[in-house]
Amino acid sequence: MCGGWSGRGGAANLCLGLAARWGLRSGRLAWSVRTNRAGRCGRALEASSSKGAGGAVDAGGLLADGARPTTVKRNMIGLAQSRHPQKMFRVDYESREPLGEAAAGRVLEAVRAALADADVLCIEDYAKGVCSAVLCGAVIGAAREAGVPVFVDPAKLTDYARYRGCTAITPNRTEAEHATGLRTHDGDNETASGVTAHNAALAAALGEAVDCDAVVMTLDRHGALVRAERRVCDAADAGAAGVRRDGRGGCVLAGLAAGRANGLGWQDATRLANVAAGIAVESFGAVAVPIERVHQQVIADSVGEHGKLRSIEQLLVEVRAWRAAGKRIVFTNGCFDVLHAGHVSLLDRAKKLGDVLIVATNTDERVREFKGPNRPVNGLAQRAAVLSGLAAVDAVVVFEEETPREVIERIGPDVLAKGDEYEVAQIPGASFVLERGGTVERLPMVEGYSTTATLRAMGDARAETSATGETRARFVEDR
């Protein structure tokens, strides 16, 4: 077995996700009932989680009940192939007895006090006795009176009456089957339309039973099915969500609630939530997925055949995700017309200066200005495709200006790399990077390799360039 460690519980993780990932100021009602030693540790842990979210999670909503123990889930972890941690089984220490009347009253009182300043109310039901039918009904009723939407991640129950009147419910495949007695179809042996129609009927049955606005049913690798306003959007319509595994309930709940609170429609909110869950489920242990990482994944899933090519706006989203993850960003630029070993060597060495390498390349029009009417040999689409195929390159962006300085200023790289054929004063953006505390690296060129030399060896007339020195100087000045 591996060594042990402690992690935050489901309610704390949900609140941290709402506050840190999705920009909601809520997260205050991470209530729980714990008084023993584990409970005191849990209180301290959730308070530290609050600090980790920039103070956005207020653990003051925790309530203690001396009549019950803290729920503790102990995951037994082994090392697969002596290297990778893998959960083998779990042992739970808990009580599933309903809260006493006094404790339930305190919870309800705390909810009512918080609703005046709440964007959403999330119910994460683990069937541990806190979310009883009576308390859920009272909480949902209070939220409806206050005009606050209620989002529920249900427990594995056969009767969802306790959630009646909520805004949305987010069962996974197993929970939906258990609640309705119907089987969701996995789509392996049936047409997509038939599977969607069957699951739509199942979602409709859930929606009518709960009297909610939307049912978001997560279907593991088949994504999610959304039924809202009597319309159905299946997993295929949810884009990237359609190819992701079943996510974690709290992650889906946080994403859906926050997406709706920030004005997204049901389909877009579900897509964001399911993408976040797909990222989380690939991580070991409980993780809070930053919203920047979710945006990055949505872009990666949507670019398709464009590979690593990004618009500047798409790239800036990825840059924020890389920075949030503590990545060191390297930037270089060039025409990269006829790619050769010298190019590959320079890009490999540039990547080693940090964690992420962004390559900017010129438009065809600018290449003609810089090199002459014979160039480029390969058009922009081909050049970008070849650059995208290199392992060292993480992103490719095109700039239309004479120099990439504007792009550099928007990205703010930690390292600016260029071949040593240029002096620092000839490297656009060098002064900006240095002023921000970054570094400028002049990498030795590989002797004997160039686009011109390659074309001459082939006897290609396009080897000769005709642009004047004055014209070329415009492209290699830090201005």
Indicate the SS3 state at residue 363: coil
- Give the pLDDT confidence score for residue 419 in this predicted structure: 95
Spell 307-327 as b/e; 16+ CB within 10 A means b. Answer: ebbbeeebbbbbbbbbeeeeb
- With beta carbons less than 8 A apart as the criterion, state whether 440 and 423 touch: no
3-state helix, strand, coil in the chain (%, to 5): 45, 15, 40
Read off the tokens for 323: 């920075």
Q: Give the DSSP H/E element, type plus range, for residue 206.
A: helix 192-210
Sign of the Cα pseudo-torsion (423, 428, 431, 437, in order): negative
Cα–Cα distance list, 460 to 177, 386, 453, 456 (Å)? 67, 21, 10, 6
| H-state helical runs in 37-121 | 37-52, 101-115
Q: Set out the domains of the chain in order of their start, with CATH numbers.
A: 10-289 (3.40.1190.20), 305-473 (3.40.50.620)
Read off the tokens for 60: 């003051």
Walk along the chain (479 residues) and give the pLDDT tens digit of each residue.
344 555 666 676 777 667 655 555 444 544 444 445 444 544 554 554 444 444 466 667 777 788 888 788 888 888 877 777 777 888 888 888 888 899 899 999 999 999 988 899 999 998 988 899 999 999 999 999 999 999 999 999 999 999 999 999 999 989 999 998 888 775 555 555 666 777 888 898 899 999 999 999 988 777 788 999 777 765 443 333 333 344 477 888 988 998 999 999 999 899 888 888 888 877 666 667 778 888 888 888 877 667 899 999 999 999 999 998 999 999 999 999 999 999 999 999 999 999 999 999 999 999 999 888 888 999 999 999 999 999 999 999 999 999 999 999 999 999 999 999 999 999 999 999 999 999 999 999 998 888 878 888 888 878 777 666 676 677 777 76
- With beta carbons less than 8 A apart as the criterion, state whether 57 and 49 touch: yes
pTM of the model: 0.75
